[in-house]
Chain A
Amino acid sequence: MEWANVILQGILVGGLYALFATGLSLIFGVMRLVNIAHGDLIVLAAYVALLCVTQTSIHPLLAIFLVAPVMAVAGYGLQRILFNRTLGADLLPPLLVSFGLSVIIQNVLLQIFTADSRKLSAGAIETATLPIADGLAVGVLPLLMFVAAVAIIAALQFMFYSLPIGRALRATSDDPEVARLMGYDNRHLFGVAMALSLAVVAVAGVFLAVRANFDPALGPSRLIYGFEAVIIGGLGNLWGTLAGGVILGVAQAIGAKIDPGWQLLAGHLVFLAVLAFRPEGLFPKVDG
């Protein structure tokens, strides 16, 4: 039962990692942009949530509904003003610009909020549990994170495969030049994709802030978790990304169970194993 508990907790944490990864996967899928600032944007969202909560004394989890639109609008602007100018045949310029953005976000946060670690307190829900069997219980908050991840991925899948905007994004991803011939404005579509990405980032940022302490330097390690979940799951497949997050979460939980010092190492080892033996990921997009 002890191991069942370990694996269950790992699966639920995997939901959070999937949330870190989904926005990253979406942006890479649509415009081949590797967003190095993704982790810092998650932390930025956590601080935006902190501001919302301190200014309006709204419940932290409800702050998601304020932070998500704010981050989505910021994402659209960021894409139109900054990233669209860097996109082209070469993958390097957008990569370098996002790296620069990462440094800027970290330092601006450091300047405004100092290096002190902060946390959002969500009250009783943080420690609430649901017993599911004798000696086995799930925390309400981790369960909520996992459910949110599944709901967001299901919604994105529905959008991509059943709505006109999803068709437009897939078409632009396939062939940006021919997409223009269909009358699409790619700059706008890329803006929409970044807005969606940062709306998901907002959810991830709020959960990050409620779950544990955060500070301005936390971004890059969240980026690593996101990258690892994307690569393990396989590029271009959002359900694969969820599976990748879960595998990472379970590996970390098992590692921690064996020895607390092995938690992060175990996750990285699984990632390395996938990269070595199945570099296309476990569930790559089937492309006919």
Chain B
Amino acid sequence: MPEKRLLDIRNLDAFYGAFQALFGISLYAERGETLAIIGANSAGKSTLMKAIVGLVTTRNAEIRFAGGELAGRPTQQIVREGIALVPEGRRLFRSLSVEENLLVGGHLHRPGPWSLANVYDLFPVLREKRHQPSTSLSGGQQQMVAIGRALMANPDLVLIDELSLGLAPIVIRDIYAALPRVTAAGTSAIIVEQDTSQALAVANRVYCLRGGRITLEGTPASLTRDAISAAYFGV
């Protein structure tokens, strides 16, 4: 039933110059789904996210999104089609305040459920700090701004790269607690994680990457710990 598929990637090879980072990736996400992409460092997870939004050169790929073809199109157009990426390391705009970061995220005025007020309801701590420089926030709060900034674009699909990397456990819990409200608002999500247990708890389906290839896919319930370990570490 391809109509249900929001994102449908076939045969994606990605390159950094002559170096090939991804090999024949095929992956899909249905509307309303949350996908987890797990894998060790340098498995190609971030490259896959960048390839979807056109920041990395792809070859041979078919990347169909909401019925249109994305491969080869510039990033700023792909974003207009309704995909937002929360980049690894948050990468907030340093010279902008918290609220300005959110406003920049929403500058295309794409219609949808997300507004400043809704983002502040999702992460109330940001409302208090709205006029502070984004650099004055803790790592976890910065991740909330980065997610809020992506949601402000009212995307149909939000990609969150390394959601929990380098964050305190208590903040990670808060952010994961907010995710169901994101998908309930109609936004599908792809979460890239090294912390497998957190990701498996919220995901409808999981893909595991190793060495630039998909080594495992399935629903969290159908995958045993051993199967995940084997796919993750290659042992």
Binding site for B on A (CB under 8 A): 164, 167-168, 170-171, 173-175, 177-185, 285, 287-288
CB pair A183 B153 closer than 8 Å: yes
Dominant secondary structure at the A interface: helix
CB pair B104 A182 closer than 8 Å: yes
Asked whether A178 and B87 contact (CB < 8 A) given A170-B93, A173-B95, A183-B153, the answer is yes
CB pair A287 B94 closer than 8 Å: yes
CA–CA, A55 to B107, complex, Å? 43
CB pair A288 B135 closer than 8 Å: yes
Min distance, Cβ A179 to any Cβ of chain B, angstroms: 8
CA–CA, A174 to B135, complex, Å? 12
By a CB distance below 8 angstroms, the chain B residues around A164 are: 103, 107
The verdict on B53 contacting chain A, using a C-beta distance below 8 Å, is yes
Q: Nearest chain-A residue to B90 (Cβ)?
A: A178
CB pair B79 A287 closer than 8 Å: no
Q: Nearest chain-A residue to B132 (Cβ)?
A: A288
Asked whether A181 and B104 contact (CB < 8 A) given A170-B95, A288-B136, the answer is no
CB pair B107 A182 closer than 8 Å: yes
CB pair B80 A288 closer than 8 Å: no
By a CB distance below 8 angstroms, the chain A residues around B95 are: 170, 173-174, 285, 287
By a CB distance below 8 angstroms, the chain A residues around B100 are: 167, 170
CB pair B91 A184 closer than 8 Å: no
Q: Nearest chain-B residue to A175 (Cβ)?
A: B91
CA–CA, A288 to B96, complex, Å? 10
CA–CA, A287 to B80, complex, Å? 31
Task: Choose one: A171, A285, A287; the contact of B104 (CB below 8 Å).
Answer: A171
CB pair A171 B96 closer than 8 Å: yes
CB pair A288 B76 closer than 8 Å: no
By a CB distance below 8 angstroms, the chain A residues around B84 are: 181
CA–CA, A262 to B74, complex, Å? 55
16 contacts between A and B (CB under 8 A): A170-B100, A173-B95, A174-B95, A174-B96, A175-B93, A175-B94, A178-B87, A179-B104, A181-B87, A182-B79, A182-B104, A183-B79, A287-B94, A287-B135, A288-B133, A288-B135
Asked whether A167 and B96 contact (CB < 8 A) given A181-B87, A183-B80, A183-B153, the answer is yes
The verdict on B157 contacting chain A, using a C-beta distance below 8 Å, is no
CA–CA, A88 to B100, complex, Å? 26
Interface string of B91-119 (1 = CB under 8 A from A): 10111100010011101100000000000
The verdict on B55 contacting chain A, using a C-beta distance below 8 Å, is yes
Interface residues of B in 55-103 (CB under 8 A from A): 55, 74-76, 79-80, 84-85, 87, 91, 93-96, 100, 103
Q: Nearest chain-B residue to A178 (Cβ)?
A: B91
Q: A170-B95, A184-B107 are in contact. List 19 more A-B contacts (CB 8 A).
A: A164-B103, A164-B107, A167-B107, A168-B104, A171-B96, A173-B95, A174-B96, A175-B94, A177-B55, A178-B91, A180-B74, A180-B75, A181-B75, A181-B85, A182-B107, A182-B153, A183-B76, A287-B94, A287-B95
Task: Choose one: B55, B76, B91, B105; the contact of A185 (CB below 8 Å).
Answer: B76
By a CB distance below 8 angstroms, the chain B residues around A183 are: 76, 79-80, 107-108, 153
CA–CA, A288 to B104, complex, Å? 19
CA–CA, A175 to B104, complex, Å? 12
By a CB distance below 8 angstroms, the chain A residues around B53 are: 181
By a CB distance below 8 angstroms, the chain B residues around A182 are: 79, 104-105, 107-108, 149, 153
CA–CA, A171 to B91, complex, Å? 11
CA–CA, A41 to B136, complex, Å? 40
Asked whether A168 and B91 contact (CB < 8 A) given A182-B153, A183-B76, A185-B76, the answer is no
Min distance, Cβ A244 to any Cβ of chain B, angstroms: 20
